[in-house]
Amino acid sequence: MNATAIDTTALAELGVADSPFLPEECADRARHAAAFVDTTALDRSGPGSYLLLWRTEHSEAWLNTWWESRDTGYHDHQGSCVGVHVIEGTAWQEGLPVGVPRRARRYGPGESFSFPGSGVHRMDHDAGAVTIHVYSPPLQAIGHYELIDGDLHRTPGPPDEGSPASPHLLDALNAIGR
């Protein structure tokens, strides 16, 4: 990712706080951070990338580029809430439904959403999406969910790696909806 696309000096103030943010505050910080990103200067080669915009005691922010479509699979943020702002393209977000119909929601340029730290969700990014994610408190780990022999399993993963898709879990949820 081209660092000249980001005004890091102005971004630093967005992460300053006396306590962790609420989910809606994360979405608000992500929306404000978007103003400091010059998308015309982004390197659009490869599958996409992740760039840490700030990390403080109470929050962190990432600029994510998705030059290829990517499903994050069902995952949790181990207690960190998240606010996401879509700068370009389209991103889909849905919680992990149990006993209710699936509720995937589409977000386009200029739209934001938040998700609680207690939740499990997945995101599906269309090719060309550019998003900012603000987590509070900073991510310590990510739990990945998948069905193994019909049972739901959580596998812990590091906070700075992409999460794998959950194809068996997604297939099972799709089968229920038919």
Please report, for the chain, the start and end positions of each structural domain, with discontinuous segments joined by +: 3-176
Residue with tokens 């998003």: 131
What CATH number does the domain located at 3-176 have? 2.60.120.10
**pLDDT exceeds cutoff 70 at 76:** yes
Distance CA 168, CA 148 (A): 8
**pLDDT exceeds cutoff 90 at 59:** yes
Name the pLDDT band for 15 (thresholds 50, 70, 90).
confident
Tell me, what's the pLDDT at 99?
A: 85
CA 105 to the chain's CA centroid: 14
Tell me, what's the pLDDT at 161?
A: 83
Whether 40 contacts 99, CB under 8 Å? no
